[in-house]
Amino acid sequence: MFAPAYLDHNATTPVAPRVLEAMLPFFGQQYGNASSRHEYGRAARRAIDTARQRVAFAVGAHPTEVVFTSGGSEANNLFIKGVAANLPAGLAAISAIEHPCVREPARTLRRQGWQLREIAVDVDCRIASADFVAALAEKPAAVSTIVSVMFANNETGVVQDVARLATIAQDSRAWFHSDAVQALGKIPLDFRSLNAAGVHALTLSAHKLGGPKGAGALVVDKRVDLAPLIAGGGHERGLRSGTENVPAIVGFGVACEEAIVRMAETAARLRGLRDDLEHGLAARGAVIFASNAARLPNTTYFSLPGLDGETLVAKLDRSGYAVASGAACSSANPEPSHVLLAMGIAPATARGAVRVSLGPETSATEIAGFLQALSATVSDLQSMAAISTAAH
Amino acid sequence: MLKLPIYLDYSATTPVDPRVAAKMIPWLTEHFGNPASRSHPFGWEADKAVEDARAEVAKLVNADPKEIIFTSGATESNNLAIKGAAHFYAATRGKHIVTVATEHKAVLDTVKELERQGFEATYLEPQSDGLITPEQLKAALRKDTVLASVMAVNNEIGVIQPIAELGEICREAGVIFHVDAAQATGKMPLDLAALKVDLMSFSAHKTYGPKGIGALYVRRKPRIRLEAQMHGGGHERGMRSGTLATHQIIGMGEAFRLAREEMAIENERIRMLRDRLLKGLQDIEETYVNGHIDNRVPHNLNVSFNFVEGESLIMAIKDIAVSSGSACTSASLEPSYVLRALGRSDELAHSSIRFTIGRFTTEEEIDFTIKLLHDKLGKLRELSPLWEMFKDGVDLESVQWAAH
């Protein structure tokens, strides 16, 4: 069977074998509802408690700070709307490169009288400190403030200095949140020290690090007065009602454990492969976005001058390489990436963007093969372009 | 050999059917793509599988697949339906909501949240059999009623509300009608082409599918609109953002397909087991069935045993896994609010046991249960001074208890 090489790990990842093995008993055998008082229910509750400890340990948090949700989108919605619901309308400051599941809930706050301010990034996708300070300085000190800056960007892989930004935001008594979905398992996260610097919550997702889809978490400082998004039954300390998704939560716990154990080793190996890839790309005339910034070790985002990204990924797919032209959620959307536009990249260049994101199972052979396929694709497209220019 | 404890709590959750699990697993491993990925076959095959599952969910309830929105479960579906419709239509239709005192907490807590936001709510009190009448609903509707929410099947007592008649009344009055059908799928036929229901909540894990997945039916003709509760990438036609959990959705599709194909035969077998259980328990003195005995799903038997203390009873029958009240509230020591709403005394509410029978229940398990209840109730009542007084013919209602 023809199986394409999967180089789109920032969209989603396969479930790791040990994760699957841990999940399976909870479908057909230990299927209890964790709220039931009998042994079936208690077994489910114990499994959730263990998973909560594993997730907490992976990010240096206390288990009681972990609120399980259906995924990263829900956790982002929960924080932004949940904090805003218990505050008088004020300022919501989010970076210009946030995922739609931070940007869109922040936009809904405007209807309740909140002012929305997007914080600029520089050409390397880093939060512009001056604009960050300015955004917080624009409002009176007493006005309630919510700040959300993603830990690592899904498209460019750029890692923000979240602790430093949170320290700045502390002067404004801001409620500071960071979407860490892409960072978890790829780079170290320590909620204790982040929390000390002024970060109040982190969003996590299972399916980006070898866990199942359908589980995520909000790691949240208990001083945050959060209104639930989903009411009814009072699960998760009243912050998220609904029967717990036991197999997915169990899988999330094991995926965290696995990723953390291997993180340093995997990161070093992927960084090596990514460097090889970028050498090859540069030799083919590619522009590599945000290459001067600190990035996740697995992500490359590039553009080849004169070539359309959508066309390129379609061709690469036919050659057996699965990559993305932008974030998966907005892949149907022909607009150039809002992240690249925020970085000040010209729309024509942004339309050429291709994202390659590696995973623990990515091999050197796949990277070499990808570069070969890319060369072949580019010559094809260039000769087609030449023919069509000649015809005009 | 019986495996203990015997699971008789199928309304709390069900095991994933092995056929469902087998269908789900490849979508965790080799077919792991994000259905929203448009640039490679990992995404395309996941997207196609999601759409096939959506069609299966729609087929069980005779709806159009475009009317099915996937959520993380029935609790989220109830929140989305009630808050989503109330907020969208408040300005044009009004801010009054009608529901029933015996609804699931996912409905009641959501309506309470809306009350805090300035909505008004009317809670219909069911009759002693657990049912509400169409007349009750009709009388409660006002000019500014925006939405009515009534569950199809009650989770504690299994009674079936007259959804068809209630729907007619709502449609005529221009009131949006939401039905929580978490406990109904696979247990009774649901035909949304005939029912005048605008929004209907479903859960997979009550019907041998996985936890973590549910759906909301949103009618297209006449079209019902909702304010999304979860914003982001615009998945599910903008009504519910977030990466679709492919394996769970596929599990729900397969579970609902099996329900459609096997429901008729399976429910006859379950009815036979339930009747056997009822018959076996009926010759225990001072035993009361809670809820209408005929107008209920065959899976449910909810019984109160007089003159025993609820907690002792639960401890005594540890060899069977049952609920005393619903799973979601059983951690509290309050007597079941559903049984209280039926007019049961605190004592009878406390000493109630919900037996719910399912796909994997055997006759042997039912017989074991009957014998266990006979033995343990006998022992507990031997120790009970109230039982002794009752047997001596003392009218306990007339006893003047001395204060301590």
Return the domain boundaries, chain A: 5-12+263-385, 17-257
CB B371 within 8 A of CB B319: no
Instruction: Identify the three-state secondary structure at position B47.
Output: helix
**pLDDT score of A334:** 66
Report d(CA A345, CA A295) in Å as an integer: 18
In angstroms, the separation between the Cα of residue B400 and the nearest Cα of chain A is 36
Residue percentage of chain A with pLDDT more than 90: 90
Check CB contact under 8 Å for B247 and A212: yes
Check CB contact under 8 Å for B15 and A28: yes
> What is the identity of the amino acid at B175?
V
pLDDT in tens, B20-63: 999 999 999 999 999 999 899 999 999 999 999 999 999 999 99
Check CB contact under 8 Å for B39 and A323: yes
Instruction: Identify the three-state secondary structure at position A319.
Output: coil
**pLDDT score of B402:** 73
**pLDDT score of B386:** 87
The owner of tokens 């579906």 is: B77
**pLDDT score of A141:** 78
> What is the identity of the amino acid at B89?
Y
User: Considering the domain A5-12+263-385 in this protein, what is its CATH number?
Assistant: 3.90.1150.10
**pLDDT score of B347:** 87
- With a cut of 90, say whether residue A138 has pLDDT above it: no
**pLDDT score of A392:** 58
- Across the interface, of A205, A214, A232, the residue whose CB is closest to B110 is A232
| DSSP state letter for A353 | E
Query: B328 an active-site residue?
Result: yes
pLDDT in tens, B154-199: 999 999 999 999 999 999 999 999 999 999 999 999 999 999 999 9
- Across the interface, of A213, A232, A234, the residue whose CB is closest to B79 is A232
In sign, the C-alpha dihedral spanning B267, B273, B279, B282 is: negative
**SS3 sequence of B265-294:** HHHHHHHHHHHHHHHHHHCCCCEEECCCCC
- With a cut of 50, say whether residue B403 has pLDDT above it: yes
CB A32 within 8 A of CB A235: no
pLDDT in tens, B234-277: 999 999 999 999 999 999 999 999 999 999 999 999 999 999 99
**pLDDT score of B329:** 47
Report d(CA A333, CA B233) in Å as an integer: 10
Structure tokens at B222: 């006449």
**Residues of A whose CB is below 8 A from B17:** 28
- With a cut of 60, say whether residue A327 has pLDDT above it: no
Check CB contact under 8 Å for B323 and A323: no
Q: What is the number of other CB atoms lying within 10 angstroms of the CB of residue B136? A: 17
pLDDT in tens, A2-43: 578 999 999 999 999 999 999 999 999 999 999 999 999 999
CB A203 within 8 A of CB A75: yes
pLDDT in tens, B66-119: 999 999 999 999 999 999 999 999 999 999 999 999 999 999 999 999 999 999
- Across the interface, of B29, B104, B330, the residue whose CB is closest to A20 is B29
User: How far, in whole angstroms, is CA A295 from its chain's centroid?
Assistant: 13
Indicate the burial class of A200 (C-beta count within 10 angstroms; 0-12, 13-18, 19 or more).
buried
- Across the interface, of B5, B36, B109, the residue whose CB is closest to A232 is B109
**Residues of A whose CB is below 8 A from B233:** 73, 99-101, 327, 329-330
Residue scoring higher pLDDT (A149 or A171): A149
In angstroms, the separation between the Cα of residue B89 and the nearest Cα of chain A is 16
In angstroms, the separation between the Cα of residue B74 and the nearest Cα of chain A is 8
Place B328 in a pLDDT band, splitting at 50, 70 and 90: very low
What is the number of alpha carbons within 13 Å of residue B209 lying toward its C-beta?
33
Poorest-pLDDT segment among B128-137, B305-314, B352-361: B305-314
pLDDT, chain A, mean: 94
Check CB contact under 8 Å for A328 and B43: yes
Place A381 in a pLDDT band, splitting at 50, 70 and 90: confident
What number of residues does chain B have? 404
In angstroms, the separation between the Cα of residue B39 and the nearest Cα of chain A is 6
Which CATH class for the A17-257 domain? alpha beta
**Residues of B whose CB is below 8 A from A38:** 5, 9, 318, 321-322
**pLDDT score of B333:** 63
| Residue A212, preceding peptide bond in cis (omega within 30° of 0) | no
Check CB contact under 8 Å for A71 and B243: yes
